[in-house]
Structure formats: structure tokens, C-alpha cells
Structure 1
Amino acid sequence: MQSLFSAWRHPQFRVGVAEMSSVSLGIAAWGLVTGVAMVKAGLSVPLALLMTFTVFAGSAQLAALPLMAVGAPIWVIWATAFCVNLRFVIFSAQWRPFFMRFPLKQRLLLGYISADLSYVLFMKRYQTPSADEAVGQVEYFLGGTTLNWCAWQIPSVIGIMLAD
């Protein structure tokens, strides 16, 4: 595959979207609640928007909010978010054989858009890397994670705006 950005044309991209769609409503509800919680915890709208787009991790966001609200030191907030997201180290270790062939910038993008449910669905479908299945693996991943990202971000932004 020449580029991650050409993946949307591949049939496995649509399969990833279809399989992620079964859980998208729950993701959207969680995103909406997190968006509201950020503003109600005292974050300004611009800061809440910045947080939702840069910290694409609802559990870390919700863990950090009360600490931010009470003025905890930044290192405590960062350490809390780090601990909450340690599961992504495990995810990354399991994804490594599938995605190591990509340049670092593309792997960082794949890491940014990854999430718990994209991990579960991908590993359920592709338990081990296989040359026979290599075509379509990243496209499937991108289909699911693209829908997951949109199902999170759009309601999160709506929640931020509604709470303001």
C-alpha cells in the first residue's frame, strides 16, 4: 500500500466501518458526556476543544478533570493520564508486527487514532500477522478507527458547545 490516505478505497476499510458501527452509539454517548464534563469542570471552550482533539482518550480526560479543577500540579495530572493509558502500551506491542512496515509518522498517526474498541475488533479479526492477510489489515483498522474517531469527536464537540 502506497499511503495510509488511500485506504478508504479498499473494501476492508468499509468492513472496518461496518464492524465499528455496532458500537458507535455507545462511543458517541461517552463522547457527549465527556464534552459536557470538561466544560462543567471549569475548562474554557477553547481549552476543552484542544483537550478533546489532542488527548483522544476519554478515560484520561475524565481522570484529569477533577485534578485540574482542584489545581493539582501538572505532573500529577500527567502521571494520572499516563497510568490510565498504560493499556495502550499493551495494544501497541500487539499491533507492532502488523504496522511496523510503516514509517514512524504513519505509525504515530495510527497510534493517535487507536482506541480500546478498535483494538478489540482488530485483534478479534487478525490474531496474528500473516502475509496472506497483510493486504487489508491496515485498511480495516483505519475504517474502524476513522468511524470511532468521528463517533467520539463530533459528540464531544457538541457536548462542549451545549455545556457552555
Structure 2
Amino acid sequence: MTRHASPPPLRDIVRHPEFVRGMRDMAGMAVGIGAWGLVTGVAMTKSGMPVPLAIFMSLLVYAGSAQLAVLPLIIAGSPVWVVWLTASCVNLRFVIFSAMWRSYFGHFHRAYRCLLGYVSGDVTFVLFTRRYPDLKHSPEQLPYFWGASTINWVAWQGLSIAGMLFANAIPQRWGLGFAGVLALLGVLCSMLSDRISWVAAGVSGLAAIAAFALPLKLNILVAIAAAVAVGLVMEAAFALHRRMGAS
């Protein structure tokens, strides 16, 4: 039976220099993440969702893209299976992230790994893998992860809940919807690090526009499916090319 390691005490994590490094690296992204959270919070409240339920959803789900994707479906009274399928498709990337996280944190017990999975995010993953590109464990990785994840969680939840509480006091002329789009574009561009991701992002955008007339916002699912398909095909093609070049 495999024995799993216990995580270090919280005080040791917080005092580690890499914890501060993670916070500092994430601080540059916090403005965009906060703006995105504010827009999401306002949208959830103005859709008619009760504030306590919106706060509960934000704290429980903690997935801005999924929340924004399913919100129009909930408002339109879409079937539950469409809402769940959309949220699952939008969050499929976290399955890939989790496989990567296992290389760094797989030695911890399951409950702690679930906690790490909950607080992890897209930008956290990007910053972490840039800081530690080798898929192997080292003690300083956990403090860095928690430093970045703490700023990410506070920026998102703080501004998201603020948007829910003060949605009716925020005038439409502020153009928060456009600000949210800009914030999403900023986060997206920070994640496009190679040719495959750029092509997949472009294809998904074109697919979403081409399928815009579909009911129940199903163009979102079409865009996700197109991006995943293109990414997988290009990855397989590049892998085959590398093998042929090596032979």
C-alpha cells in the first residue's frame, strides 16, 4: 500500500521565500482576474440569481469561465443536462492540469490533493509551469503554488462577491462587460505560449462565431470541441514529425 506524505505546516509554507515569490508573480495578473471576477459577480446578480446563492456558487464552483458559460443557459431555462455538459466541457482543461499537478504533488494524500485542485487556476498553472518546467517534485514548489493561488483566490472571490453585493449600484455606462472581455483576453493571451495553443484559440473563436445561431448557446460547445480537436490533431502531427525526424 502506497504511503502518502503529509503537507508541511502552514507556517512553514507562508515563511518560505517561494511563497512570496508566488504572490509577487501573481500580483501582476490580479487586476485582470479581479476585473473578470467583478463582471461575473455583477452578471450573476443581474440575471436574477439571489445574492446568497450567487455567493455560494462562486465559493463552491470557483471557475469563472464555467460560471459565465452556464449563466445564459440558466437564464434561458435550458435543460439541466445542457448546463452540466457545458460546464464540464469548459472545465475539461482541468483534467489535463490535474495530470500535470500529479507530477508535482502526487505524493500528498488525496484530501490534500483535492484541496490543491480546488484552489488551482489557469494563471496559477501557467506561472507554476514556467517557474518549474521539469515534471518532478521539489520542496519549494508547494509554497510557490500556495503564494500564487492565494492571490488568485482572493482577487477573484473578493471582486466577484463585491460585484454581487453592489451590482445594482454599478451603472451600465461603466461598460463592465467590455472590461470583462478585455480581462479575459489578457488572461487568454498569457496562456498562449506555442503554435498549437494559438491555432486552437483562433479556431475556437471562428467556430463560436460560425455557430452563433445555434440555440441554447450551443456555439460554446462547438467552439470547445473544435479547439480540442484541432489541438489534438496538431499535437499528434508534431509528435509524428519529431519521431520521423529522429529516425
Is residue 2:128 matched to residue 1:122? yes
The aligned counterpart of 1:46 is 52
Q: C-alpha distance in 2, partners of 1:38/1:4?
A: 37
The aligned counterpart of 1:69 is 75
SS at match of 1:22: helix
> Cα gap change, 1:21/1:77 in structure 2, threshold over 3 Å: closer, same or farther?
same
Shifted more, 72-81 versus 138-147: the winner is 72-81
Is residue 2:12 matched to residue 1:3? no
The aligned counterpart of 2:161 is 157
* AA at the equivalent of 1:33: V
How far apart are residue 14 of structure 1 and its match? 0.6
Q: Percent identity?
A: 51
> Cα gap change, 1:53/1:4 in structure 2, threshold over 3 Å: closer, same or farther?
farther
2:119 and 2:153 in contact (8 A); partners too? yes
1:48 and 1:160 in contact (8 A); partners too? yes
SS at match of 2:71: helix
The aligned counterpart of 2:184 is none
Query: Gaps spanning 5+ residues in structure 2: where?
Result: 1-5, 169-247
How far apart are residue 74 of structure 1 and its match? 1.7
How far apart are residue 3 of structure 1 and its match? 3.1
Tell me which structure has the larger Cα radius of gyration. 2
**What do the CA deviations read for 1:16-48 (whole angstroms, capped 9, x no partner)?**
000000110100000000000001111110110
TM-score, normalisation: structure 2: 0.63
Query: Gaps spanning 5+ residues in structure 1: where?
Result: none
2:103 and 2:136 in contact (8 A); partners too? no
> Cα gap change, 1:2/1:113 in structure 2, threshold over 3 Å: closer, same or farther?
closer
SS at match of 1:135: coil
Shifted more, 83-92 versus 122-131: the winner is 122-131
The aligned counterpart of 2:42 is 36
> Cα gap change, 1:70/1:97 in structure 2, threshold over 3 Å: closer, same or farther?
same
Q: 2:141 aligns with which of 137, 140, 146?
A: 137
1:60 and 1:81 in contact (8 A); partners too? yes
TM-score, normalisation: structure 1: 0.94
**What do the CA deviations read for 1:72-123 (whole angstroms, capped 9, x no partner)?**
1222111100000111111111111100011111100100001100000000
> Cα gap change, 1:93/1:70 in structure 2, threshold over 3 Å: closer, same or farther?
same
The aligned counterpart of 2:88 is 82
1:4 and 1:106 in contact (8 A); partners too? no
